[in-house]
A and B are shown apart, each in its own frame.
Chain A
Amino acid sequence: MRPFEYARAQSVAEAVGRPGKFLAGGTTLMDLMKLDVERPAHLTDITPLRENGELSQIVEDGGGVKIGALASMSQTAEHPLIAERYPALSQALLAGASQQIRNMASMGGNVMQRTRCPYFRDLAFKECNKRDPGSGCGAIGGHHRKMAILGGSDACIATHASDASVALVAYGAALTLRGPDGERRVKLEDFNLLPGETPHIEHDLREGELIVALTLPAPIAADGVYLKVRDRESYEFALSSCAAVLDVQEGKVNAAHVTLGGVGTRPWRSPEAEAALVGQPATRETFEAAARAALQHAHPLAQNAFKVPLTARVIVRALMQAAGQIDEAGNPTTGANA
């Protein structure tokens, strides 16, 4: 790892405006610094703002909840406000990392999580537009089994790695960003940028800006599901996942939020799927139509083509589960009548 100028911020005011990178849980940044992918000349350690509580509270906020940006994944997953009102977020957090990493990683850091694309992470590969703009993309003509089928460009098909962000987007989360010029709010689904021609610019985050909070509006429904399919049973990134929050009234979908993970270049909110659901009967046929809508613009390559049928099934199962029709194993729940 390359050395850096280190500063320890004792307050948000001290932290904002500082150059370089902010260090919170370190689970992404330290990893990438060791790989020499990240080379910050300045590092501002904001962990004191977790310990002094300035950025680690989880509190009611109007009808919703405000999560301090340095609240840990564990703390958030287990907090009654989250576990009870935003169950898909709690599930995504628990499925999103090992227990040790959940204790370390912050919620603000989680939305800044970088891709696992091997061409990005290993400097031995010369082609990576995200790391080295203009160098090419090793994955498109190379190994891409785990790469994105949604939101990619000719420059980059790297999958967004976060599980929690998928659930956060499904719940309509917004970020509060504080910079030298004051505070602004950005919806998380807008905060993560599509790669386009500039895959190295991943977020709507300005120099010196610090994520201070995540806010969740009141959920549209009490039931939410995060369903994740992966190569290992645990401690593993998603091949495909879906956060589904569904408000079903008298057998009809009144409101729906559907976000996909493991398949998009960013946490993939699917307005197409949501439109296919709202106003329709909460049946398997409707859910299958929603899955088709979500994937109509998918661009798979040879090795990740399986993600299309897989994701269709993930969406249907997540929706059926969110509608209370089946359990986690896919068995009909008692009295379910889909």
Chain B
Amino acid sequence: MTSLNSVPLTLMVNGQAHDLELPVQATLLDVLRERLHLTGTKKGCDHGQCGACTVLMDGETHLSCLTLALSAQGHEIRTIEGLGGPDGELHPMQAAFIEHDAFQCGYCTPGQILSAVACVEGGHAQNDAELRDFMSGNLCRCAAYPQIFEAVKSMAGERQ
């Protein structure tokens, strides 16, 4: 039996396979940040209460802080680093966030953007109340909520 301190696993992140040996209790968030140095995924509470650690798992928003890394095996994980185009061009939602000044300190921003993408792509911005409710799983202490709302709404409008 392998040591609980170094369990082997393979994670697929942004289309790339990473072979790792991890403590059994490592979370996906800590693996992304501390071992893969994909620090765009943020730690704001480590308890599923702020949304800063949001990633896409098989296209769905998940909280990486409450995801055991071992459980993430076999899933396609997409982080903010994998959202833009291959040559670094911004995803339209990223551009909308800049245009609407939908962030200040920027720390919650990657999580906000991934949720915003899921919001629009999943058709959860049918009306203002639905959009705001969907985006309520991502706290913004700088309180850029009015600007986040406008950014997401502008993209939902584009889509229609």
Interface residues of A (CB under 8 A from B): 1-6, 8, 23, 25-27, 30-31, 33-35, 45, 47-48, 51, 74, 94, 97-101, 103-104, 233-235
Cβ of B74 within 8 Å of any chain A Cβ, yes or no, is yes
Q: How many residues of chain B have a CB within 8 Å of chain A?
A: 35
A20 to chain B minimum Cβ distance, whole angstroms, is 13
Of B4, B71, B118, the residue contacting A99 (CB under 8 A) is: B118
Q: Do B25 and A100 touch (CB < 8 A)?
A: no
Task: Report the separation of the CA atoms of residues A100 and B111 in the bound assembly, to the nearest whole angstrom.
Answer: 10
Which has the most chain A C-beta neighbours within 10 Å: B4, B68, B118, B139? B68
Q: Which residue of B lies closest to A7 (CB)?
A: B70
Task: Report the separation of the CA atoms of residues A314 and B142 in the bound assembly, to the nearest whole angstrom.
Answer: 34
Q: Do B48 and A27 touch (CB < 8 A)?
A: yes
Q: Which residues of A contact B51 (CB under 8 A)?
A: 98, 100
Q: Do B25 and A2 touch (CB < 8 A)?
A: yes
Task: Report the separation of the CA atoms of residues A98 and B136 in the bound assembly, to the nearest whole angstrom.
Answer: 7
A100 to chain B minimum Cβ distance, whole angstroms, is 4
Q: Which residues of A contact B115 (CB under 8 A)?
A: 99-100
Stretch at the interface among B55-63, B90-98, B146-154: B55-63
10 A-B interface contacts by CB (under 8 A): A98-B51, A100-B62, A100-B115, A100-B137, A101-B66, A103-B60, A103-B61, A104-B62, A234-B133, A235-B137
- Residues 79-93 of B, flagged 1 when their CB comes within 8 A of A and 0 if not, give 000000000000000
Ranked 6 nearest A-B pairs via Cβ: A98-B137, A234-B136, A3-B4, A1-B25, A30-B66, A100-B61
- Residues 37-53 of B, flagged 1 when their CB comes within 8 A of A and 0 if not, give 00000000011100100
Cβ of B109 within 8 Å of any chain A Cβ, yes or no, is no
Q: Which residues of A contact B48 (CB under 8 A)?
A: 27, 30-31, 100-101
User: When A1-B25, A4-B24, A98-B136 are in contact, do A45 and B71 touch as well, CB less than 8 Å?
Assistant: yes
Of A8, A94, A101, the residue contacting B63 (CB under 8 A) is: A101
Known A-B contacts: A2-B25, A233-B136. Give 9 more (CB < 8 A). A6-B70, A26-B71, A30-B65, A94-B133, A99-B124, A100-B62, A101-B66, A235-B137, A235-B139
User: When A3-B23, A8-B70, A23-B68 are in contact, do A104 and B63 touch as well, CB less than 8 Å?
Assistant: yes
Q: Which residues of B contact A74 (CB under 8 A)?
A: 60
What secondary structure prevails in chain A residues at the interface with B? Answer: mixed
Interface residues of B (CB under 8 A from A): 4-5, 7, 23-25, 27, 46-48, 51, 54, 57, 60-63, 65-68, 70-71, 74, 115, 118-119, 124, 132-134, 136-139
Q: Do A6 and B54 touch (CB < 8 A)?
A: no
Which has the most chain A C-beta neighbours within 10 Å: B5, B62, B71, B118? B71
Task: Report the separation of the CA atoms of residues A103 and B75 in the bound assembly, to the nearest whole angstrom.
Answer: 14
Of A5, A34, A234, the residue contacting B46 (CB under 8 A) is: A34
Of A30, A34, A97, A100, the residue contacting B54 (CB under 8 A) is: A100
B41 to chain A minimum Cβ distance, whole angstroms, is 13
Q: Which residues of B contact A48 (CB under 8 A)?
A: 74
User: When A3-B23, A3-B25 are in contact, do A99 and B66 touch as well, CB less than 8 Å?
Assistant: no
Q: Which residue of A lies closest to B72 (CB)?
A: A47
Q: Which residue of A lies closest to B4 (CB)?
A: A3
Which has the most chain B C-beta neighbours within 10 Å: A31, A51, A74? A31
Q: Do B7 and A6 touch (CB < 8 A)?
A: yes
Q: Which residues of B contact A234 (CB under 8 A)?
A: 132-133, 136
B145 to chain A minimum Cβ distance, whole angstroms, is 11
Q: Which residues of B contact A31 (CB under 8 A)?
A: 47-48, 66
User: When A34-B46, A101-B63, A104-B63 are in contact, do A23 and B4 touch as well, CB less than 8 Å?
Assistant: no
